[in-house]
Structures are given as C-alpha cells and as structure tokens.
Amino acid sequence: MESYPSNLEEGCLLALQYFGIFRYPLKLEEIHIFNPSKATLEETRTALDKLLAEGTIYQRGPFFLPVKDEDWVPARVKANEKAYQLLAKTGKYGSIIAAFPFVRGIAISGSLSKFSATENPDIDYFIITEADRLWIARTMLHLFKKLTFITGHQHYFCMNYFIDKKSLTICHPNLYSAIEAATLLPIYNAPLFIQFDKENEWIREYLPNHPGLVNFTYVLETKIYRLKKILEAISGILFPGKVNHFLMRLTDRKWRRKWKRAGYPEDDYDRAFMTSLHISKNHPVDYEKKVLTSLVEYQNSGR
C-alpha cells in the first residue's frame, strides 16, 4: 500500500502529499522531520528550492503546498490557534484519566498532537496501562466516558488506543503508524514515553530525520492518587488476570457484532480493532487504511 521515495525530492513530495490529504501545508522543518529520505535540514531546503523552481510545489509565506490552493494557509493558521487553546485544557482532562486504576502513561494523539484542531474537535488519547490490566483499565474508563455524555464532555475523552507495559512496541509498522507514534504528546509519566520511544526504533526507518518524542510541554505535575492505589490493591485480590481476560473477550465479541452489522469487510477488522491482552485499538473509521490508500491514489494521480 505504501510507496517509498527514491531520492530527497520525492521524499519532500511524499511528506507534502501525506499532509495534503488533510489540506495541511507544511513548514520547512516539518517537511524535514516527516521526510522518509535521510538528509540534513539544508539539503531539504535545497530540494524544496528545486521543486519550487520546477513548479512542482508552491510556497505561501513559510508554508509549502503540493497544490496551488490559497485557502490552505489561513485554514492551517486557524487550526493551529484552536489546537493551542485546546491543549491548554488537556491538563484538566488528563488528570482525570490519570486518576483511574492501572493507568501508567497518557499522551495526546491524532490531529491535536500535530497542533491542529477543528471547530468541534476531539481530544484523542494514547494510553499505557499496567501489564495484564489493560482491559480492566479500559472498561472503567469507558464506563466513565458514558457519564460524560450527560455533561456534553464526551469529545474530550476519546480513548481509542491502549497498550500495556508488556507491549510497548507498536506491532504494525508503516508510515501512518510511524507519524502517529512520533508525534505523540506525553501528558502523564514522561519517562515511560521515553522508554516507549526507545522501544520503537523502527520509526526511524520511516522517519530518519525525526527527533522522536521531545515535546514534554504539557506533562502533568506528579501527583499521588490515593484512591487509585486503594482500588488497585482491592483489584489484586479479585482474580484480576481472569477479569482482564474476560473483559477482553467480552469487548471483542461486542465489536465484531457491530462491525458485521455495519457491513464492513471482515478482513479490515483486525487492523481497525486490534484486540489482544496487551493491545486495544478502536478505530472504527479506520483512518490508517483511508490515509495510506489516499496517499497511493494521490501519488498515482501524478500531482
């Protein structure tokens, strides 16, 4: 499904085309870190100058575009402003998630982790749990999320990707996964995400110029959650391993029924809903397939 650049100019185009799917122009530094071709920043600048001279890409202020569309730049500026406003609130919502039993690490994911937000945005989270307790933590968090519908705050608690400490390595490497993992914004337990970054060295194969997880601006202050510790202790005497396994099977059956009723291809289920003792990925829209397919179509169109 993926196409790889044979030179630096093609790498620049691939980065621009990838974000062009979202009508999102890029700055020089962003093209550099999302370029699948290894290069220095100056080499990337030279490659862009060549593409500009050929008329293959366009520039508006500090932004580069794969198509000549004047609306992309103000739309991006507005999306960035909205994102920074929303990120200022993540401490409040992140601290609620952190207080739940067996939650060990939290990061912002999705478009917000790339500093982009729409008028009615979601806050997506990537959550690391204690080993062999993922489904207990996930179930409690999603029961809580059902309550947030009452107050209209459900969009601030989109918890759609969980891994536990036994499975810090993302097991489905591709360009989409690399960009999503590299752009996570940790907000709880930064050292755990530093370990996560080290255990996903495969990301460098796709993004050799990316510095990895280096933005810890939004990390919460360390707090002691006493109730959390008490609940974890109680859970420890209630056969948590069996409960964790039961909740995984129960959730998987529920998801498979919904997927089948929606008429989606069965072959796509395991990618959109990764379900194991150590991983829970719940992406019913399956952006991974959509983005990678769109990228191939974008390239095949000759744009």
Domain ranges of the chain: 8-67, 82-291
Buried b / exposed e over 231-267, threshold 16 CB at 10 Å, is bbeebeeeebeeebeebbeebbeebeeebeeeeeeee
pLDDT tens per residue, range 185-195: 999 999 999 99
- Taking Cα atoms as reference points, which of 106, 152, 112, 145 lies closest to residue 127? 106
pLDDT attached to residue 178: 95
What confidence category does residue 288 fall into, taking pLDDT thresholds of 50, 70 and 90? confident
Sheet-wide strand order for 58-60? 26-27, 63-65, 58-60
Q: Is the pLDDT of residue 302 over 60?
A: no
pLDDT tens per residue, range 206-218: 999 999 998 999 9
Pick 120 or 135 by higher pLDDT: 135
- Write out the H or E segment, with its range, that includes residue 127: strand 124-129
What confidence category does residue 129 fall into, taking pLDDT thresholds of 50, 70 and 90? very high
Q: Looking at the domain that runs over 8-67, which CATH code has it been given?
A: 1.10.10.10
Least confident span in 35-39, 48-52, 295-299: 295-299
pLDDT attached to residue 61: 95
> What secondary structure letter does DSSP report for 219?
P
What are the tokens at 246? 């039961």
Share of the chain above pLDDT 70, in %: 93
pLDDT attached to residue 1: 42
8-20 vs 41-54: helix crossing angle, rounded to 10: 80
Query: Residue 31 to residues 138, 174, 240: CA-CA distances in angstroms?
Result: 36, 18, 46
What confidence category does residue 293 fall into, taking pLDDT thresholds of 50, 70 and 90? confident
pLDDT tens per residue, range 170-187: 988 899 999 999 999 999
Taking the C-alpha atoms of residue 139 and residue 187, their distance in angstroms, rounded to an integer, is 21
Cβ(41)–Cβ(31) below 8 Å = no
> What secondary structure letter does DSSP report for 150?
H
Burial (Cβ within 10 Å: 0-12, 13-18, ≥19) of residue 95: middle
Region at 283 (left for phi over 0; alpha for psi -120 to 50; beta for the rest): beta
Q: Is the pLDDT of residue 108 over 80?
A: yes
Beta strands of 211-287 (E only): which ranges? 279-281
